[in-house]
Amino acid sequence: MTTPGPHGAGSLEGRCFLSVLDFEPADLEHSLTLSATLKRDRPLGKEAPTSAALQGTYVALLFEKPSLRTRSTFEIAIRELGGNFIVPSADVALGKRESLADVGRCLERWVAGAVVRTYEQSRLTDLALATTSFRVINALSNEEHPCQALADCLTLKERWGDPRGRTVAFVGDGNNVATSFAQAAVMLGIHVRVASPDGCDLPPGIDGDIARVARYGAELTRFRDPVAAVRGADAVYTDVWTSMGREAEVAERRRLFSPYQVNDALMAHAGTDACFLHCLPAHRGEEVTDSVLDSPASAVFDQAENRLHTQKALLVMLYED
Ligand code: CP
Ligand code: NVA
């Protein structure tokens, strides 16, 4: 891995995964190959070659927002790699009692790293920069969800083999999930279309990053019209209209996003064998109908499963000497 880009900071030296942009495209390819190997080897249990990769290693799990998938899969991943975890409560470990920098400096004396779900991305950078050897993993921030993007990419590679030249239409909020997915997908040569209402676009700063990391001619295109975005696409991706922390906006967002629901009529504009993606949790009947979520095209539980395999690979990569 490289020294982190604009989302990391100068002295992190590749020890943290705060953003997809902390990976070069070759790192992403490597992580997906390793993920597939770990998935294949999982039935071997203690006989798997990586079953002691984190032996003697403690990791702290710090979650300021709810989580089923991310937290469960990190707990299982750490255990299956032979490591241990501690779960300090978020109210004492995420800067409410003392500065995040001091929390990081203390934790670093006891454990090798932390998996952190929090609000502003800057909180992750602050924690990482206050330490010298601590491995910090972004388990979701307001701005990015890079661990989700790893599982999304593995899921698409499993379906398509070589994903170069494919097109994914993300319909809905240009949020943390959309941002990380777009960054990762273009590294694999996947064209990304994002259809969002006015004011809910991907952050403007992403364009420079996309141009820098895109491979094989992959492009990011923004749309207002969901039908235009989905037309002929190989996959349709959506996420909740109201992300965690924005609950006060729920009524306004329901109104704003109602033309962006992924339903059978919208999916009919996608390519014949198009699959449907959602990071989950889903708000059934809002951003997606039951008929799409439960259809044969739906890959959502493959995505959920692949959170485990991709995070195991990430941990192996971050903790290998
Ligand atoms: N997709 C995802 O991150 O799920 P959780 O919020 O349950 O961790
Ligand atoms: N965008 C959603 C993703 C949840 C996994 C949120 O931030 O709440």
Domain boundaries, the chain: 10-145+307-319, 148-304
* Residue to probe by mutation, ligand 2, list 72, 140, 278, 280, most atoms within 8 Å of CB: 140
Q: What is the pTM of this model?
A: 0.96
Q: Which two tokens stand for residue 261?
A: 């629901």
Question: What is the CATH number that goes with domain 10-145+307-319?
Answer: 3.40.50.1370
Question: What is the CATH number that goes with domain 148-304?
Answer: 3.40.50.1370
CA distances from 275 to 12, 39, 54, 114 (A): 37, 21, 35, 34
CA of 81 to the centre of ligand 1 (A): 21
Give which of 195, 295, 311, 173 is closest to 243, Cα–Cα: 173
Give which of 245, 207, 278, 189 is closest to 64, Cα–Cα: 245
CA of 67 to the centre of ligand 2 (A): 9
CA distance 151 to 146: 9
SS (H, E, C) 190-244: CEEEEECCCCCCCCCCHHHHHHHHCCCCCCEEEECCHHHHHCCCCEEEECCCCCC
CB 172 within 8 A of CB 238: yes
pLDDT tens-place string over residues 43-82: 999 999 999 999 999 999 999 999 999 999 999 999 999 9
CA distances from 186 to 139, 167, 189, 215, 238 (A): 21, 10, 5, 6, 17
CA of 216 to the centre of ligand 1 (A): 30
Position 253 scores a pLDDT of 98
The verdict on the CB of residue 67 being under 6 Å from ligand 2 is no
Q: List residues with catalytic annotation.
A: 117, 145, 148, 239, 279, 307
Which atom of ligand 2 is closest in space to residue 245's alpha carbon? 8
Residues of the chain with pLDDT under 50: 2-11
The verdict on the CB of residue 244 being under 6 Å from ligand 2 is yes
Q: What does the CA dihedral 228, 294, 173, 144 come to, rounded to 10 degrees?
A: -120
* Residue to probe by mutation, ligand 2, list 74, 170, 244, 246, most atoms within 8 Å of CB: 244
The verdict on the CB of residue 141 being under 6 Å from ligand 1 is no
Position 1 scores a pLDDT of 55
Single-letter residue type at 149: A
Same fold, 10-145+307-319 and 148-304: yes
Which atom of ligand 1 is closest in space to residue 65's alpha carbon? 6
Chain centroid, CA 71 distance in Å: 13
Position 91 scores a pLDDT of 86
Q: Which two tokens stand for residue 55?
A: 């032996």
Contacts of 244 (CB under 8 A, 6+ apart): 65, 66
SS3 call for 264: helix
Tokens 């692949």 correspond to 306
CA distance 193 to 202: 11
CB 295 within 8 A of CB 24: no
Give the CA radius of gyration of the chain: 19
